[in-house]
Chain A
């Protein structure tokens, strides 16, 4: 166990090293940060002086060497836009993103398990077919479109006048299909509850929760169909297996067969995929956060790219690399916990 964790720690360091080299190698293609920092009429000599002061004229090796030397001491550079250490900027934006990912994960778990199991048990039911059809559509709709549609329906509101308003039933149908739209469409709201350090939470106030709902649904919308289909497929396979047939033959109640024997074994591959996907979800937050102006890491990263805020871009990429390593490590740990036959250190059993 300890050996395993040490090995993973070394992985993380290696990942950070590789990412930082790559990020530095492409920084010239990320754009010119100076242009964003000066007014249009600033003469070239002033720009050159600023470039010199920020060390942008040095060669790749000199710049990287300086960065690496500071990075080992925990200093990942200074964001041009925020005018403070890049790591601090990320730390400030991290809780918002983690809360969003957590909320989305919660939605995924709470919906995908029952729906997946149901459509595995009753594959021919109308509802199952509906879920399968909807999941195909869901998987094909890009997240920003989902987000915009959600905003239109639940924040702005839509007025339907498809049916004749003069007739009673027409007015009733119109009323039924129209929405008021009073959900907040941007930001985290002004009613955040401070927890500790940089962490203000959306989850402890009614207004905060309202702000969280739409972004969380949008973010969940990408992964939810995937998980429903995955759980359904795994469950159907497990239901065909010998031990399930044996359990049924023994006369164990169907509920116990489905939810104790079958579901447990279904979840093994789901955990593996899920862990990897949570990492991916951090990346998807870029789109969701941009549409909802959610002040998390994703929005921060996109702004950093637009401003060519290179130190912040490099630090973000490295941190995301670490997040991937950490989630994978946790997944492996859980996996070993759920299925004790898996040996973490890789030694022969």
Chain B
């Protein structure tokens, strides 16, 4: 009797002491976000896009996630071990619950991986995985078809879904797990993840509301955001105005024209992050015979002043590039820098017998990349100095892609972000010899083909010794640089801005997925 009473008293005492301590921690804060887009759907496997991955990091947790320096940080997977060439074993975090209240176990991870393999958007990326198996409640073994060095890169895309919640049939008899593109599926309307925020309301195109998940596993984070209202504001000027007027606390994609204005405003803070999206041009060798000559390709590359464009046109909002891989990527080769040299370019044109130049068509989008139409215009002007006369056509994105797919123009602009945050992806999509069977060179507009490079990159992709693999990729970058398989321009920077006291610097990264669960607000 007395024992029970003592116990009870000590529990009450502990509770009181605990609540007395609470005011010492940072106070709970509401966050109002103005993003350029809101998530297209609630089904994280329906579409692979920046907006969806940002949403995934709010309502879900990945197995591992990228740090600012492109290292891996454990999230739902706490440990991993490559047991042999084709097997990797992951230990999962215990005591994690989904928003629905279901406990998180290995079967959810297996279920999620199997669903990813069904998803049209993720299918290709998850092709190397043969199977996943739950060894026990908190251990998963993933088998790859071949030795595969990028398993952890893939794990950043595995956001375990609540398998129990998504299993069964809806009232209208549809499978709750089905992935329907642009359709009305259960998963596109309902969500249960393990993430730091629980979705409370969503009016598509107007606002999305989140509340902090009270049973979130990560109690060590200092993040103190208690609720989020996300408003999509697609118009650049309006998004900046919303921040400056105090209507929102945090915006993404600050346009270059407003960088100065935000830097000078005392009430908001600008954070620039070097991005990973390469912007460049592809020379169509099928349409223009001259582009088959490596000297002409080199001349084009030499005639373009990458530094000048990054400096003046982009106002420092871009990093001039001489290769696909940005700094931090496995294949980044510090020796490959832009090499603007107009005289040498003119010499090369003369050597190739094109002293008098020729006329080409160029296409570029006008609302996809930062300053895309202006960049294309500037490049067209630069090419005129080696007597290549460019007829430029720019068009909105919705029209650009169908036009791009026809491959009817002579030069096309393209920006590319590697889905795996790895160098090999750039080559596979942009410079590999076109092969409709395997899908290689899907975005190789110019029909460029260098089998040596292809072989090197393909070999690298089955080397699990990462040091050796990086060496091979750096070599591939150097070969492409010499051969000008892609006319590199720059990596477009990312810019975020937030009201004073909203400390976004630690949570934003080059991958463009802010980790808002860890955001600290001190107003």
Which residues of chain A have C-beta atoms less than 8 A from B389's C-beta?
Answer: none
**B49 CB to nearest A CB, Å:** 6
Among the stretches B106-114, B226-234, B286-294, B509-517, the one at the interface with A is B226-234
Determine whether the beta carbon of B235 is less than 8 Å from that of A38: no
Q: Does B442 contact A (CB under 8 A)?
A: yes
Interface size of A by CB at 8 A reads 50
Determine whether the beta carbon of A31 is less than 8 Å from that of B205: no
Q: Does B168 contact A (CB under 8 A)?
A: no
**A295 CB to nearest B CB, Å:** 4
Q: For residue B184, which residue of chain A has the nearest CB?
A: A83
- The docked-state distance in angstroms from the alpha carbon of A48 to that of B439 is 14
Among the stretches B347-355, B392-400, B448-456, B487-495, the one at the interface with A is B392-400
Among the stretches B3-11, B87-95, B121-129, the one at the interface with A is B121-129
Determine whether the beta carbon of A306 is less than 8 Å from that of B402: no
Which residues of chain A have C-beta atoms less than 8 A from B242's C-beta?
Answer: 185-186, 293
Residue in contact with A185 in the complex, picked from B40, B205, B247, B397, CB distance below 8 Å: B247
Determine whether the beta carbon of A81 is less than 8 Å from that of B402: no
Determine whether the beta carbon of A303 is less than 8 Å from that of B205: yes
With A84-B184, A186-B241, A300-B205: A31-B231 Cβ-Cβ less than 8 Å: no
With A44-B439, A293-B235: A155-B241 Cβ-Cβ less than 8 Å: yes
Chain A interface mostly: loop
- The docked-state distance in angstroms from the alpha carbon of A152 to that of B34 is 18
**B486 CB to nearest A CB, Å:** 16
**B52 CB to nearest A CB, Å:** 9
Residue in contact with B245 in the complex, picked from A37, A151, A295, A303, CB distance below 8 Å: A151
Determine whether the beta carbon of A186 is less than 8 Å from that of B229: no
Q: Does A39 contact B (CB under 8 A)?
A: yes
Residue in contact with A156 in the complex, picked from B184, B188, B245, CB distance below 8 Å: B245
Residue in contact with A41 in the complex, picked from B124, B396, B405, CB distance below 8 Å: B124
With A38-B120, A43-B124: A186-B47 Cβ-Cβ less than 8 Å: no
Determine whether the beta carbon of A186 is less than 8 Å from that of B397: no
Residue in contact with B181 in the complex, picked from A32, A50, A185, CB distance below 8 Å: A50
Determine whether the beta carbon of B401 is less than 8 Å from that of A35: yes
Determine whether the beta carbon of A43 is less than 8 Å from that of B245: no
Interface size of B by CB at 8 A reads 54
Which residues of chain B have C-beta atoms less than 8 A from A37's C-beta?
Answer: 47, 181-182
Determine whether the beta carbon of A40 is less than 8 Å from that of B419: yes
Chain B interface mostly: loop
Q: Does B143 contact A (CB under 8 A)?
A: no
With A41-B124, A41-B429, A155-B245: A291-B238 Cβ-Cβ less than 8 Å: yes
With A83-B188, A155-B241, A300-B205: A42-B121 Cβ-Cβ less than 8 Å: yes
Q: Does A213 contact B (CB under 8 A)?
A: no
**B282 CB to nearest A CB, Å:** 15
Residue in contact with A83 in the complex, picked from B48, B183, B245, B429, CB distance below 8 Å: B183
- The docked-state distance in angstroms from the alpha carbon of A185 to that of B244 is 10
With A42-B121, A46-B123, A293-B235: A32-B401 Cβ-Cβ less than 8 Å: yes
Q: Does B237 contact A (CB under 8 A)?
A: yes
Q: Does A29 contact B (CB under 8 A)?
A: yes
- The docked-state distance in angstroms from the alpha carbon of A292 to that of B242 is 9
With A185-B245, A295-B205: A148-B47 Cβ-Cβ less than 8 Å: no
8 Å CB contacts to B: which residues of A69-108? 78, 80-84
Q: Does A308 contact B (CB under 8 A)?
A: yes
Which residues of chain A have C-beta atoms less than 8 A from B396's C-beta?
Answer: 31, 306
**Total of A-B residue pairs, C-beta within 8 Å:** 143
**A166 CB to nearest B CB, Å:** 22
Determine whether the beta carbon of A39 is less than 8 Å from that of B47: yes
**A12 CB to nearest B CB, Å:** 28
8 Å CB contacts to A: which residues of B160-203? 181-184, 188, 203
Determine whether the beta carbon of B398 is less than 8 Å from that of A35: yes
**B432 CB to nearest A CB, Å:** 13
Determine whether the beta carbon of A307 is less than 8 Å from that of B181: no
8 Å CB contacts to A: which residues of B396-438? 396-399, 401-402, 405, 416-417, 419, 425, 429, 436
Determine whether the beta carbon of B241 is less than 8 Å from that of A39: no
**B151 CB to nearest A CB, Å:** 18
8 Å CB contacts to A: which residues of B203-221? 203-207
Q: Does A208 contact B (CB under 8 A)?
A: no
8 Å CB contacts to B: which residues of A136-153? 148, 151-152
**B385 CB to nearest A CB, Å:** 33
Q: For residue B180, which residue of chain A has the nearest CB?
A: A83
With A38-B47, A54-B182, A81-B40: A186-B442 Cβ-Cβ less than 8 Å: no
**B279 CB to nearest A CB, Å:** 14
8 Å CB contacts to A: which residues of B244-265? 244-248
Residue in contact with B48 in the complex, picked from A35, A39, A306, CB distance below 8 Å: A39
Determine whether the beta carbon of B398 is less than 8 Å from that of A307: yes
Determine whether the beta carbon of A36 is less than 8 Å from that of B245: no
8 Å CB contacts to B: which residues of A193-219? none
8 Å CB contacts to B: which residues of A27-74? 29-32, 35-44, 46, 49-50, 54
Q: For residue A299, which residue of chain B has the nearest CB?
A: B205
Which residues of chain B have C-beta atoms less than 8 A from A183's C-beta?
Answer: 245
Determine whether the beta carbon of A41 is less than 8 Å from that of B231: no
Q: For residue B188, which residue of chain A has the nearest CB?
A: A83
Determine whether the beta carbon of A46 is less than 8 Å from that of B120: yes
Q: Does A187 contact B (CB under 8 A)?
A: yes
Residue in contact with A38 in the complex, picked from B34, B121, B234, B241, CB distance below 8 Å: B121
Q: For residue A96, which residue of chain B has the nearest CB?
A: B206
- The docked-state distance in angstroms from the alpha carbon of A81 to that of B206 is 13
Residue in contact with A151 in the complex, picked from B241, B398, B402, B417, CB distance below 8 Å: B241
Residue in contact with B442 in the complex, picked from A30, A36, A44, CB distance below 8 Å: A44
Q: Does B41 contact A (CB under 8 A)?
A: yes
Which residues of chain A have C-beta atoms less than 8 A from B205's C-beta?
Answer: 81-82, 295, 299-300, 303
With A31-B396, A35-B398, A82-B204: A303-B442 Cβ-Cβ less than 8 Å: no
Q: Does A274 contact B (CB under 8 A)?
A: no
24 A-B contacts (beta carbon < 8 Å): A30-B399, A31-B398, A32-B402, A32-B405, A36-B398, A38-B181, A39-B121, A39-B122, A41-B121, A41-B429, A41-B442, A81-B182, A82-B205, A83-B188, A155-B241, A155-B245, A156-B241, A185-B238, A187-B206, A292-B238, A293-B231, A293-B233, A293-B234, A293-B235
| Interface residue ranges, B against A (CB under 8 Å) | 34, 40-41, 47-49, 120-125, 181-184, 188, 203-207, 229, 231-235, 237-238, 241-242, 244-248, 367, 396-399, 401-402, 405, 416-417, 419, 425, 429, 436, 439, 442-443
Nearest 3 Cβ contacts at the A-B interface: A31-B398, A39-B48, A155-B245
